[in-house]
Structures are given as C-alpha cells and as structure tokens.
Amino acid sequence: MFAARNLRRRMGDSAEIELINAENYFVFQPLLPEVAAGQVTAPHAASPLRLLLKGVFVRKAVVHSIDFERQEITVFQGVQRRHTLVRYDHLVIALGQSSDLSMITGLPEHAMTLKTLEDGRLLRSHVIEKLEHAEITQLPEVKQQALTFTVIGAGFSGIETVGEMAEFIERSLKYYKNIDRSEIRIVVVEMADRVLAELPPALGTYARRKLEARGIEFQLSTGVESASGTHLVTSAGEWIGTRTIVATIGSAPSKLVRDLDLPLKAGKIQVDRSFRVPAHGNVWALGDCALIPMVDRPDAKSDYAPPTAQFAVREARHLAKCIDDAVNGKQLAPFVYSSKGALASLGARSGVGDIMGIKISGFPAWLIWRAYYVAFLPGMSTRFRVLMNWLLDAITPRNVVQLSKPPAPGARHVLYHAGDRIYEKGNRADGVYTVVSGAVEMITHDPETGKEQRRRLGPGQHFGMRLILGEDRRQATARAAEHTRVLVLDREEVLKIADGIDDFRRHFEERIERELGRHWDRGDGQPVKRVAAVD
C-alpha cells in the first residue's frame, strides 16, 4: 500500500499504477494486539484501499503465479475466481510474511496467530469464550485450563500481545463472579534468555519485571515440544494445561514467494540496495518478504533492514524514487536509513522504548508509542477512528460482547496427548472421529452389570458415528490411549461428502450396520437388530 501510494505521488498520471491484493483494505499490524484486546474495534483498525489510493487501480484478487519472461501475473478474481492475466512493465513484490508452525507438533492445529485483522477479532472472541466457559464449568481441571493463557515468543509482537491480553482479562473479570484473579495464569514461553531482544537489555528487563508485577509468568531459555487442545509441553518437560495458545513465532515466506523462480536467502527475496531483484531489471521487492542490504557487503543480520513498520514506510518512499529513476534512465541510489529507535507497548498505560539512544519507560514511553503509531496510520479518517477508540477505552469499561465464536472447520485435525479426554458419555456430539495415528480407548459400562468395558481403536477406525444417524448425545467416553491425532468431520461435512462420493457413503453404511446394528437412511437411523456397541 505504501509503495503504491508513493509511486502515485511521485509519478502522477505518467504511469498506470495497479495494486493487487486479496482484501480491499489495509490494516496497520502494530494495532492487531489492541484489536485482540478489544481496545480498538476491528473495522476501525482497517482503512479502505480505494480511499487511501486515489488514482491507483485496486484489483481485489489472489495472485496465482508470475511469468517473468512474458511479464504477466496470473490472478483469480471475482466470485467465480476467474483466471485473469495482468501485464506489467515494472513489478513490485510486497507480500510480507506468513506463519509456519509446522516445526512443532500440534501447533498448526491448536495455536492462534496474530497476522491479520481476522486473527485479532478471533483471538478476542476466543478469550471471551474461555472466560464464559470458566464461569460455568463444574470441573476444576477444565476451569484451570480455560483460565491459563500462553503466548509463544517474547519479541515485540509477543510482548505487546500478552500485555494487551492481560489488561483485557483484568478489566473483564468484574463481570465474572465465579472467577478470581488468582485463578488466572498467563505464561510467556521464549527460547532466548531475555525478552525484547531488539531493545537494550535494561529495557527488556524493565518490561519483564513490569509484566511480572501484573502476574504474567515468563519461561525464558525454554522452547515448545508439542501442543494439544488442552496442553502445551515445554522443552523443560512441563505440561501446561491450557486451552489458549498464541504463537508469535514461525514467520515464513508465503507460498507464492517460495514458488517464484527468484533468489531466496533465509526465506526472503534477495535484492540489491535499490530493492531490485538480481537478473530482473524490472522486478522489485521490499518489506518483510525482501532481504534488503544496508551495506555493500553484508555478512551479519544487522547489515540488513529489519522488518519493522518504521523501515517499511521509508523503503516505500525510496522504492518510488528508484522506479521513477529507472524509467527515466537515471542512476539508482542505494537505500540509506538509520533507525530512530524502537518502542513497545506493555498494556495498562505502560511501555518501553529507545529513541535515538534515549531510553524511556513507563507512561511516557506508552504515550510516545501511541503518538508515533498514530502518525504512521494512513488516512485522517483512520487516525480519527483509532483516537476515538482510545478515548472511549479510557473512560468506559471493556466490552465483553461476543458477537461470534471462533468457528471450527468442518474438517479438522486434532492432537491429543496420552490420557487426554476426547469426550465423555452424555456430552453433546460435535463430530465424527477417525484415528489418524496413535490409539483411542472407548469406555462404557454394561447396562445390566455395571461392569466397565473398554475397546481400543487404532489408525483408520472411526468413533462417534451415532452422530451421522442424528443422535447428538455421546453414548461412551473416549480417551487418547497414547499420543494421538484424529480427523474430525462435522455431520454436515459427512453428509455432503456422502452425497457426492458413493464409496464414502458405502464405507460408513457398512461400519454403522456392523458396529452399531443400525441402517443409515439419508441421515435417519432405523433399528435393524439389538447388539452391544460402543461409540
């Protein structure tokens, strides 16, 4: 967005500028923790691209591929995702970074991220859902897990997220009479030996102590081994019972960047000091997806531009100059910029910062942080809305209205550790399960003798099939017998697939008749014979 706006300002009507983006809005990422904490409402944190980019053609589409020889971009656009070719004379790639949590078992399935506006909205809804659950549950273990919130990563994103989330929880507890502040546990897990490694050690120490005074626990020099829907296992061997995991780690190149035939280093597109991609005179890259050298012979991390908003804004301005100079046959100047410092909000009107070598902390740092980022927000209307949100937050209670719960995908993988309860007899049925790996133990009791009966299921076997027949109460208890991954399908998903794939339907018809003694008739179960069954 910043690149397109600066190109328009510099080149005017002499160039046709087009921006291709999957969404029709721009969101300033440093605001996402405040969106997640309900301090700024999601729509007010976003700016319409067409309002910001007057004179720029905005194409709402998804980029599929790029042909550098033919200078064509293939996009899918419109309701039908129609295949369309877009030609270019100069191409700027500013795709940022995506999240890749696949290096830790269970994290992709059970961790939340904070990369998009929707991520922020869903995290807020999730936290409210956990408070609501903890308010009414009669199970101490479930309450403890619901009130334990974990954040992985103690960089800027992790610290600002945990600070805002803690403030949101603290200011919301007055609405929940069955939850005491002492029952809340908030944990930050960080592989490094200190927080905010980008700032001087003294400021990192101040931030940690300030957050610890608010009851936030830090586990430094500690990694994550695995995660499930109810636990996070650290490299120190601790099993943290939690139903909220926020991962601020795992930045990785987008699939499109990985698929492009461009030189990559550390997952980023290699460019020269003028943002041009080697061997491509008309292809440029900037922002988080580009590895931008700040010196002629870089050999250390500090020799490259950091992925911060401060640098991104300056990069966009210089890129516009470079492209304009290239079009007019002028020599390109290298990008030169020195950081003016860094700031981090800790929530609760406190912050830390290093501005041009001057270390600040507490309320002054928080105030400067707000003023600094308001200045970076694009568009007066966005600045005004954000300022009004901040003003209202200062004089009114936090809003705990949950407009919608985070939706569970109709088909999803779920990881369980040995001994984890998958569901209990009498629970409302939430899906049909298939064991992918590991083993599940089904537990029931003989209706006549009361004797406990156990049945072990392995990979490829199903349980919870009564839901297909329309029965919405569990007839048995299911527990993970070992480290287990299952595939869960909602009833609607099962019925849709069965309508389209005869083999799938026959597969479940046979198993329902064999294991439950029932006949599946378009979702209505009719008794065939009386048999002893565990499901």
Share of the chain above pLDDT 90, in %: 86
Closest CA to 455 of 469, 476, 471, 437: 476
**pLDDT surpasses 90 at 533:** no
Q: How confident is the model at residue 404 (pLDDT cuts 50, 70, 90)?
A: confident
Q: Are the beta carbons of 122 and 112 closer than 8 angstroms?
A: yes
Do residue 201 and residue 260 come from a single domain? no
Do residue 218 and residue 260 come from a single domain? no
Do residue 118 and residue 195 come from a single domain? yes
Last residue of a domain, one of 321, 337, 353: 337
Q: How confident is the model at residue 408 (pLDDT cuts 50, 70, 90)?
A: confident
DSSP state for residue 428 in the 8-state scheme: B
Do residue 262 and residue 311 come from a single domain? yes
Give the CATH number for residue 113. 3.50.50.100
Give the CATH number for residue 447. 2.60.120.10
Do residue 90 and residue 71 come from a single domain? yes
Q: How confident is the model at residue 366 (pLDDT cuts 50, 70, 90)?
A: very high
How far are the Cα atoms of 45, 98, 126, 384, 390 from residue 387, in angstroms, in the given order? 10, 29, 25, 5, 5
Predicted local confidence at residue 522, as pLDDT:
57
Q: How confident is the model at residue 9 (pLDDT cuts 50, 70, 90)?
A: very high
> What would the pLDDT profile of 496-510 be if each residue is shown by its tens digit?
999 999 999 999 999
Residues 410-427, mean pLDDT to the nearest whole number? 94
> What would the pLDDT profile of 265-308 be if each residue is shown by its tens digit?
999 999 999 999 998 999 999 999 999 999 999 999 889 999 98
Asked if the structure places residue 524 within a domain, the reply is no
And the tokens for 46?
């976003």
Last residue of a domain, one of 293, 311, 337: 337
Asked if the structure places residue 54 within a domain, the reply is no
Do residue 201 and residue 273 come from a single domain? no
And the tokens for 114?
């904070």
**pLDDT surpasses 80 at 249:** yes
Residues 72-92, mean pLDDT to the nearest whole number? 94
Do residue 367 and residue 431 come from a single domain? no
Do residue 415 and residue 469 come from a single domain? yes
> What would the pLDDT profile of 431-463 be if each residue is shown by its tens digit?
999 999 999 999 998 888 889 999 999 999 999
Asked if the structure places residue 192 within a domain, the reply is yes
Do residue 125 and residue 217 come from a single domain? yes
**pLDDT surpasses 80 at 531:** no
- Distance between the two ends of the chain, CA-based, in angstroms? 53
> What would the pLDDT profile of 107-166 be if each residue is shown by its tens digit?
999 999 999 999 999 999 999 999 999 999 999 999 999 999 999 999 999 999 999 999
Q: What angle do CA 416, 123, 154 make, to 5 degrees?
A: 80
Closest CA to 7 of 528, 17, 215, 422: 17
Give the CATH number for residue 322. 3.50.50.60
Segments forming the whole domain that contains residue 71 = 2-22+61-98+252-337
Predicted local confidence at residue 535, as pLDDT:
61
Rounded to whole angstroms, the Cα distance separating 223 from 185 reads 18
**pLDDT surpasses 90 at 376:** no
State the chain's mean pLDDT as an integer.
93
The one-letter amino acid at 361? S
**pLDDT surpasses 70 at 168:** yes
Q: How confident is the model at residue 534 (pLDDT cuts 50, 70, 90)?
A: low
Residues 390-416, mean pLDDT to the nearest whole number? 89
Q: Where are the alpha helices (DSSP H) in 269-401?
A: 309-327, 363-376, 380-395
Residues 155-182, mean pLDDT to the nearest whole number? 97
Asked if the structure places residue 37 within a domain, the reply is no
Do residue 300 and residue 383 come from a single domain? no
Predicted local confidence at residue 524, as pLDDT:
45
Asked if the structure places residue 41 within a domain, the reply is no
Residues 47-59, mean pLDDT to the nearest whole number? 95
Last residue of a domain, one of 297, 313, 337: 337
Q: How many domains does the chain have?
A: 3
Asked if the structure places residue 39 within a domain, the reply is no
> What would the pLDDT profile of 192-210 be if each residue is shown by its tens digit?
999 999 899 999 999 999 9
The DSSP-derived string for 43-76 is GGGEEEHHHH-TTSEEEEEEEEEEETTTTEEEEE
Query: Which is it for the CA torsion 444, 449, 450, 452, positive or negative?
Result: negative
Share of the chain above pLDDT 70, in %: 97
Do residue 434 and residue 316 come from a single domain? no
Asked if the structure places residue 402 within a domain, the reply is no
Asked if the structure places residue 122 within a domain, the reply is yes
Do residue 226 and residue 129 come from a single domain? yes
Rounded to whole angstroms, the Cα distance separating 101 from 107 reads 6
